[in-house]
Chain A
Amino acid sequence: MNIISIILIMSGLLLLGSSRLGVAIKVVAIQGLVLGILPIVKASHELTAGVWFLCISIIAAKGIILPILLNTNLKSSGITREIEPFISYGVSIIAGIIMLILAGWMTVRLNLNRTMTPPIVLSAAFFMVLSGLFLMITRKKALTQILGFLAMENGVYAVGIGLSLEFPFMVELGILLDVVVGVVIMGHLLLHMDKEMAHTDTDRLTELSDNIRLSGEIKVVSSNEVNIGSDREVLK
């Protein structure tokens, strides 16, 4: 348990520090694999067939299928391999340390006494949620947003494990299915974004806002020009 939570924390930090998309995808895949193992390791009672099935599907979905899918997306689109952060990696890791302290503080505040899992799992989970959110906010590429979402979702799932909660088997499977379908749709949109706009930078998704002049003009100018020219063009 302890080793797994440390792996999870380190994977979060690695995500914050890695500068390559390929590496980041691998790190998220490792998170998925480890999360799949976690319920087996935890096992306070006999393992039912349901738990086994769930673990295997988590490993298959989060650890194998989704990373492969994201890798394919990465390769088939014209995305450069570099993660482009708004905040430098060093500062990201410092922020990561602060988030780690925050996660620890949250765990202490929650004052758990009824759970059977060691509280460090919960800290790791909170840290993963925070680092996933941080990743989504501070990275430019759409793909890193997907990765951040996955990391965050992994974290939320780990919170459930850290609190020793078990939902009925069907519901757990439903949660997993939602995440998988969500990421598949996100990946699909990503490819379209790459085709349609020739970039996947989320900071350039500024066509929609309340003060840009709308519709009529946009047909004449190409999207690039819109980005440069009409950002400040407020309705007169």
Chain B
Amino acid sequence: MKLLHWLLPISAFIIAPIIPGIINRVKAFFAGRRGVPILQLYIDIWKLLRKGSTYSHTTSFVFRIAPSVIAAALILCTFFIPWGSISSPVSFSGDLIFIAYLLDVARYFTVIAAMDTGSAFEGMGASREVQFGFLAEPAFLMGILVLVMVTKNTSTSGIMQHLSTSVWADSGILLILVATAWYFLLLTENSRIPVDDPNTHLELTMIHEVMVLDYSGPDFAYILYGSALKLWIFSALIVNILLPVAALPIWLQPIVFIAGTAGVAILVGITESIIARLRLVTVPKIIVSASALCFIALIFRIIG
């Protein structure tokens, strides 16, 4: 059984880069194109890893260590994500907050490395990233609070194990609210379309891409891999909340879980296809709305 728990993050490491592939395929399907292969990201990462890196003269060591720190933080995160009732290998009370902090460490290093380049362009992206991150934080924390209150458990694995059908019958609507809010969060944090456009380069409106423009070679590979993991982490959390995976027999759970994650990816692809990117001034509205959903759930939990 011990081995099974360790299998979770390891399979996550292997599966994660497929998710952006699925999203791209869905988008291509909606656009009437054939699209890049689903495994494209593996190829990209492999290619980048074999290349050398170039560094600007104006950068310091911060710029060089950032990709490793980002990738490390996100890899560490993955160790805390359970699959349904199969608990994660590492787990302790309050580890969801630890996950939040790890995500913040990754964000912090992305931002500080972008600032380190001294480019005004990247500074702008950093400023936007921080603004939206700041607005998104309450949604994540409030969502955690709601989950903790609903399941009366404080570790990620514990929470997900306790999302039984009876909890669903009792406070399913809260879970839906939190999952919806976290879906908004997923779109924001992973720079997906209504907030940011992952495909644009050299455009004044982008947020995430602009911050990593100066990376090349293995450093860029780390960042791409980190992004894929981040997407995986958020999808996994949403699937855990939204699908009653924990109620299924144990052998079925990994299959349903992976299918669910793929489902989230497809949903993201559909969202990206049917919604236009928002103007930057309206983005805060969307992110704050996500927090509002979590607050509704919280108030509901306390009062109702």
Q: Tell whether A and B belong to one assembly.
A: yes
Question: Interface on A for B, CB 8 Å cutoff?
Answer: 2-3, 5-6, 9-10, 13, 17, 19, 88-90, 93-94, 96-97, 100-101, 103-104, 107-108, 118-120, 123
| Cβ contact within 8 Å between A101 and B300 | no
Chain A: minimal CB distance from B273 (Å): 22
- What interface size band does chain B fall in? 20 to 34
User: A93 — which chain B residues lie within 8 A by C-beta?
Assistant: 285, 288-289, 292
Cα A10 to Cα B293 with chains together (Å) = 8
Cβ-defined contact, B177 with A123, below 8 A = no
Asked if B303 and A119 make an inter-chain contact with CB atoms under 8 angstroms apart, the answer reads yes
Complex CA gap A9/B289 in Å reads: 12
Main secondary structure of the interface of B (DSSP, over half): helix
Identify which of A13, A90, A118, A120 contacts B284 (C-beta below 8 A).
A90
Complex CA gap A157/B233 in Å reads 44
**Which A residues are CB-close (under 8 A) to B173?**
2-3, 6
**Nearest-neighbor residue (CB-CB) of B287 within chain A:** A90
Q: Do A100 and B304 have beta carbons less than 8 Å apart?
A: no
Q: Quick one: closest A residue to B284, CB to CB?
A: A90
Considering the chains assembled together, what is the distance between the CA atoms of A17 and B30 in angstroms?
29
Note all chain A residues with C-beta closer than 8 A to B281.
88
How many angstroms from the CA of A10 to the CA of B289 in the assembled complex? 10
Interface residues of B (CB under 8 A from A): 135, 173, 177, 281-282, 284-285, 287-289, 291-293, 295-296, 299-300, 302-304
Known: A2-B300, A90-B284. 4 other contacts (CB 8 A): A10-B296, A17-B289, A93-B289, A94-B288
Task: Give 4 closest A-B pairs by Cβ, nearest first.
Answer: A120-B304, A90-B284, A104-B299, A89-B285
A100–B288 touching, CB < 8 Å = no
Distance between Cα atoms of A5 and B288 in the complex (Å): 20
How far is the CB of A5 from the nearest CB of chain B, in Å? Answer: 8
Q: A100 to chain B: which residues have CB within 8 Å?
A: 292, 295-296, 299
In chain A, what residue has the closest Cβ to B297?
A6
Residues of A within 8 A of B289 (CB): 13, 17, 93
- Asked if A108 meets B303 with Cβ closer than 8 Å, knowing A6-B173, A13-B289, A93-B289, the reply is yes
A10 CA to B299 CA, complexed, in Å: 13
Q: Is the CB of B303 within 8 A of A96?
A: no
Per the bound structure, the CA–CA distance linking A118 and B301 in Å amounts to: 12
Residue of A nearest to B294 (CB): A97
Q: How far, in whole Å, are A101 and B299 apart by their CA atoms in the complex?
A: 7
Report if A17-B177 is in contact (Cβ < 8 Å); known contacts: A104-B302, A118-B304, A120-B300. Answer: no
A134 smallest CB distance to B (angstroms): 14
Please, how many angstroms separate the alpha-carbon atoms of A86 and B38 in the complex? Answer: 47
Contact A17–B304 (Cβ < 8 Å): no
Residue of A89, A101, A108 most packed against chain B (CB within 10 A): A89
Shortest CB distance B79–A (Å): 33
Minimum C-beta distance from B4 to chain A (A): 38
- Shortest beta-carbon distance, A51 to chain B, in Å? 24
Within the assembled complex, what's the spacing in Å between the Cα atoms of A189 and B302? 43
Q: How far is the CA of A10 from the CA of B292 in the complex (A)?
A: 9
State the Cβ distance, A112 to closest chain B Cβ, in Å: 10
**Could you tell me if A9 and B288 are in contact, using CB atoms closer than 8 angstroms?**
no
In the complex, which residues of chain B have a beta carbon less than 8 angstroms from the beta carbon of A104?
A: 299, 302-303
In contact, B303 and A6 (Cβ under 8 angstroms): no
